């Protein structure tokens, strides 16, 4: 039987299944979109191969033999298995209980997660999210191992095995306690400030130009434009003091209750914090680069329906942030953000 199966035309089983369901050559032909003659020829071949009549023509239609009755459920199940293997998998977000793991900084979590949860509550109420910090882990390894479905951050030197898509962009601003009368600070006034900044990986020894590289993937660690900061005061007699370096943004509102401390933060986060805390936002007295925030995934997830849905949903969740792309004051556009702006 093994040798016979190697030469067996699986289309004959498709015809058998249709005749078994319809008990009519004509109706079976319509069901599988072939001519009645083709169905009759296929049945003749099957009868010869299996040495059984299979169906007997009667006034009530094509009646199966005992051999056909025994074969039918096995063939039906096998055919369904083949269809499931060949057809693209379907993903129904409205009923799915899928769990997705996303690596992201607290900055991106704070500014985009509320929009993402609104979409999930409306369209995928049973889908679960696991949010992991994008710092203090080997991000590239976690993506390679399939432990993370998507990583969100600012990246450079993205390996070819990872896909990438832009989500939104931001520049830097200054936030202070609202009790502090600062106005629009000049370089001279700014140079007298004590500044708090966020370094996601702390003072990482392997950081180059504000990026930490692991397994070919470089991710931004310094959450402020240090190069622009240093250029602005390269010839000045006095520079602002970076008084506090933090591994996250969460502590800033309470720290800024001390009116002597200010902080450089991404603009979308500044707008969020100013709306919730007694803080004020100020433009920096120098130009900063408009940084691109992207989503990364492993190339093996290309074409995977749940993963494609996740990335599309992340893109939708960041539409409000992209809409503010051109509100930013005097930015220097990075090459990736220039592409994002051109596509907008």
Span 142-192, pLDDT tens digits? 899 889 999 999 998 899 999 999 999 999 999 999 888 776 778 888 888
Question: What confidence score (pLDDT) does residue 5 get?
Answer: 61
What is this structure's pTM?
0.70
What's the chain's Rg over C-alpha atoms?
31
pLDDT surpassing 50 at residue 132: yes
pLDDT surpassing 90 at residue 96: yes
Enter the DSSP assignment of 89. P
Question: What confidence score (pLDDT) does residue 331 get?
Answer: 44
The arithmetic mean of pLDDT across residues 65-85, rounded, is 85
Burial class (CB in 10 A: 0-12, 13-18, 19+), 74: exposed
Confidence band for 282, pLDDT divided at 50, 70 and 90 = very high
pLDDT surpassing 60 at residue 24: yes
Highest mean pLDDT among 28-37, 67-76, 192-201, 312-321: 312-321
- CA pair distance 28, 39, nearest whole angstrom: 8
Q: Which of 343, 298, 293 lies closest to 163, judged by CA? A: 298
- Cβ partners under 8 Å of residue 51, min gap 6: none
Confidence band for 329, pLDDT divided at 50, 70 and 90 = very low
Q: Which of 341, 334, 300, 319 lies closest to 155, judged by CA? A: 334
Long-range contacts (CB closer than 8 Å, 24 or more residues apart) made by 44-50? 45/9, 45/12, 46/12, 46/15, 46/16, 49/4, 49/8, 49/12
Question: What confidence score (pLDDT) does residue 344 get?
Answer: 44
The arithmetic mean of pLDDT across residues 91-115, rounded, is 93
Question: What confidence score (pLDDT) does residue 225 get?
Answer: 94
Question: What confidence score (pLDDT) does residue 11 get?
Answer: 84
To the nearest 10 degrees (0 to 180), the angle between helices 36-50 and 11-22 is 110
Q: Are 136 and 89 in contact (CB under 8 A)?
A: no
Question: What confidence score (pLDDT) does residue 229 get?
Answer: 93
The arithmetic mean of pLDDT across residues 281-308, rounded, is 92
* CA triple 272-275-280, angle to 5 deg: 95
Q: Are 326 and 158 in contact (CB under 8 A)?
A: no
Enter the DSSP assignment of 199. B
The arithmetic mean of pLDDT across residues 213-235, rounded, is 89
Burial class (CB in 10 A: 0-12, 13-18, 19+), 102: buried
Higher pLDDT, 3 or 4: 4
DSSP H or E run through 2: helix 2-6
Q: Are 43 and 32 in contact (CB under 8 A)?
A: no
| Three-class SS state of 335 | helix
Enter the DSSP assignment of 232. H
The arithmetic mean of pLDDT across residues 56-68, rounded, is 89
Q: Are 176 and 182 in contact (CB under 8 A)?
A: yes
The arithmetic mean of pLDDT across residues 112-141, rounded, is 91
Please state which of the ranges 18-32, 44-58, 195-209 shows the lowest mean pLDDT: 195-209
Give the ranges where 66-131 is alpha helix by DSSP (H). 66-86, 106-123
pLDDT surpassing 70 at residue 7: no
- Cβ partners under 8 Å of residue 336, min gap 6: 166, 292, 294
Paired residues of 132 in beta bridges: 103
Burial class (CB in 10 A: 0-12, 13-18, 19+), 105: buried
Q: Are 154 and 220 in contact (CB under 8 A)?
A: yes
Question: What confidence score (pLDDT) does residue 159 get?
Answer: 92
CB atoms within 10 A of CB 159: 17
Backbone dihedral region for residue 146 (phi beyond 0: left; psi -120 to 50: alpha; all else: beta): left
The residue ranges of DSSP E strands in the chain, in sequence order, are 55-58, 61-64, 99-104, 128-132, 150-153, 155-156, 162-170, 172-177, 194-198, 211-214, 217-220, 241-246, 261-266, 279-282, 289-298, 332-333
């Amino acid at each position: 039987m093994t040798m016979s199966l190697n030469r067996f035309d699986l289309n004959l089983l498709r015809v058998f299944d249709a005749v078994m369901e319809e008990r009519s050559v004509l109706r079976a032909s319509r069901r599988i979109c072939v001519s009645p003659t083709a169905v009759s020829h296929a049945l003749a071949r099957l009868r010869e191969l299996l040495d059984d009549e299979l169906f007997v023509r009667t006034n009530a239609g094509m009646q199966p033999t005992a051999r056909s009755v025994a074969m039918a459920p096995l063939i039906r199940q096998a055919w369904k298995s083949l269809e499931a293997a060949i057809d693209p998998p379907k993903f129904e977000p409205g009923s799915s209980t899928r769990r997705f793991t996303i690596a992201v900084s607290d900055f991106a979590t704070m500014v985009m997660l509320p929009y993402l949860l609104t979409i999930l509550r409306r369209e995928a109420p049973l889908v679960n999210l696991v949010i992991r910090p994008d710092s203090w882990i080997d991000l590239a390894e976690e993506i390679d191992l399939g432990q993370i479905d998507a990583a969100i951050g600012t990246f450079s030197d993205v390996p070819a095995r990872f896909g990438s898509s832009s989500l939104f962009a931001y520049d830097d601003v200054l936030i202070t306690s609202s009790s502090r009368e600062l106005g629009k600070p000049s370089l001279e006034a700014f140079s007298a400030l004590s500044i708090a900044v966020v370094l996601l990986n702390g003072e990482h020894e392997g950081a180059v130009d504000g990026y930490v590289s692991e397994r070919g993937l470089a991710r931004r660690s310094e959450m402020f434009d240090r190069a622009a900061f240093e250029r602005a005061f390269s010839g000045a007699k006095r520079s602002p003091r970076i008084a506090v370096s933090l591994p996250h943004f969460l502590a800033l509102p309470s720290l800024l209750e001390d009116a002597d401390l200010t902080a450089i933060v991404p603009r979308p986060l500044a707008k969020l914090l100013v709306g919730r805390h007694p803080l004020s936002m100020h433009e920096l007295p120098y130009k900063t680069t408009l940084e691109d925030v992207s989503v990364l995934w492993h190339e093996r997830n290309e074409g995977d329906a749940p993963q494609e849905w996740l990335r599309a949903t992340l893109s939708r969740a960041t539409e409000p942030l992209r809409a503010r792309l051109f509100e930013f004051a005097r930015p220097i556009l990075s090459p990736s953000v220039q592409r994002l702006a051109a596509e907008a």
